Structure 1
Amino acid sequence: MTRLAWAWIMLVSAGLLEIIWAVALKYSHGFTRFWPSIVGITFALLSFIMLSFSMKSLPIGTAYAVWVGVGTLGVAIAGIVALGESISPLRMASLVLVILGIIGLKLFEK
């Protein structure tokens, strides 16, 4: 596996971990609940470390935008599925734009 492929795997994985820590922070109630707080802090640290490693091989703008995009998309879906948040057509269209942006950053990274 090439270094670049490994960087992309690390980056997407870091974005997926962002989903976990963001949801854990919701359940930590401002760090007043121990286990959700520990999960949130642990996964945030792992996500940052993996993002940092991916930035060794990827452009910073691309890496950061993809990391945030994957996290944003995942947290929005988690909010809709698990927390009963709005699923309006404009909200769904906005999520599609996030996906298109992530794809565009990958396709046009050089």
Structure 2
Amino acid sequence: AERVSVDLDPGHAIADPMRLPLQLRAVARLLPAIAKVAVIRTWSGCEGYVRDMLPVMGRSATTPGLFHAFGFCGHGFQLGPGVGDAMAELITTGRCETPLDDFRVDRFDCAA
């Protein structure tokens, strides 16, 4: 993935089609079989980055019944299955064998 600055005024990221050939050449060096693919659509989006580069996971500090799992700093797809397991366990049983204390949403509060 290529990281570029994002203009937040329009409310969404914009894929620059002029950059696509360069990106495809870079991918083809790693995965030669992709060199002859036909691109039919592209997607762009904003990734959530948290100040300390750690995700937020667990119960909401303010809203009962609300659970958080966000801010994976570009690693959400890789971590998704494990995060899903941990969050499902927490939501369904009220507990989680995976320690989540370091990922509390209130860790940024002055009193936390």
Same fold (TM over 0.5): no
Which TM-score applies when normalising by structure 2? Answer: 0.27
Structure with the bigger percentage of helix: 1
Larger radius of gyration: 2
Which TM-score applies when normalising by structure 1? Answer: 0.27
**Relative contact order (alpha carbons < 8 A, sep ≥ 6): 1 or 2 greater?**
1
Structure with the bigger percentage of strand: 2
